């Protein structure tokens, strides 16, 4: 049996709605991990784990408690790297699936963009979530979840 884990603090609400619907439809245990309380729908399958505040506390909780059969949603590339190394499947809220083949490139790009931001050459982060991003997530997530549930 798999568990869906959500790095919930930075996860967009529209993506959470996709996850909630899938959890109910497939009756899959889903755990949101966050540094503060947030509303979740009343469900036998969806729960919230509030961890103490601090850098990477939620990340460490997910890594320590997830299993290789689980599916994790996170926008945090260093967390995705740890999860991929553990053998888990990680997907970001825009639908990109992190694998052993692409995680090093994703980390490198993240570090490069961070360097450009800290030197003032660029400002801001990724573009705001659009409906097409949520749809891309829903498509990738549904495909991965279906594969996990069949195996």
Give the pLDDT confidence score for residue 118 in this predicted structure: 73
For residue 6, the SS3 value is strand
Q: Which domain holds residue 119?
A: 3-150
- Rounded mean pLDDT, 92-97: 94
CATH of the domain at 37: 3.40.50
pTM of this structure: 0.85
Q: Does residue 103 carry a pLDDT above 80?
A: no
Counting Cα atoms < 13 Å in the Cβ hemisphere of 46 gives 20
Give tens-digit pLDDT for 52-71. Answer: 998 789 999 999 999 998 99
Give the pLDDT confidence score for residue 125 in this predicted structure: 62
Q: Does residue 116 carry a pLDDT above 70?
A: no
How many domains does the chain contain in total?
A: 1
Q: Does residue 132 carry a pLDDT above 90?
A: yes
Give tens-digit pLDDT for 14-40. Answer: 999 999 999 999 999 999 999 999 999
- Rounded mean pLDDT, 112-130: 72
Give the pLDDT confidence score for residue 105 in this predicted structure: 75
Could you tell me if residue 54 is left (phi over 0), alpha (psi between -120 and 50 degrees) or otherwise beta?
Answer: left
């Amino acid at each position: 049996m798999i568990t869906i884990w959500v790095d919930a603090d930075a996860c967009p609400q529209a993506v959470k709605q996709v996850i909630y619907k899938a959890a109910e439809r497939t009756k899959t245990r889903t755990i949101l991990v966050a540094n503060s309380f947030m509303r979740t729908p009343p469900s036998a399958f969806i729960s919230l784990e509030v961890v103490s505040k601090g850098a990477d506390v939620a990340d460490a909780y997910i890594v320590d408690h997830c299993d290789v059969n689980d599916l994790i949603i996170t926008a945090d590339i260093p967390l995705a790297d740890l999860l991929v190394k553990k053998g888990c499947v990680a997907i970001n809220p825009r639908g990109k699936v992190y694998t052993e083949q692409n995680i090093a490139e994703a980390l490198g790009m993240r570090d490069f963009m961070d360097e450009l931001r800290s030197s003032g050459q660029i400002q801001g982060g990724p573009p705001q979530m659009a409906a097409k991003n949520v749809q891309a997530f829903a498509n990738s997530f549904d495909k991965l979840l279906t594969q996990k549930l069949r195996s």
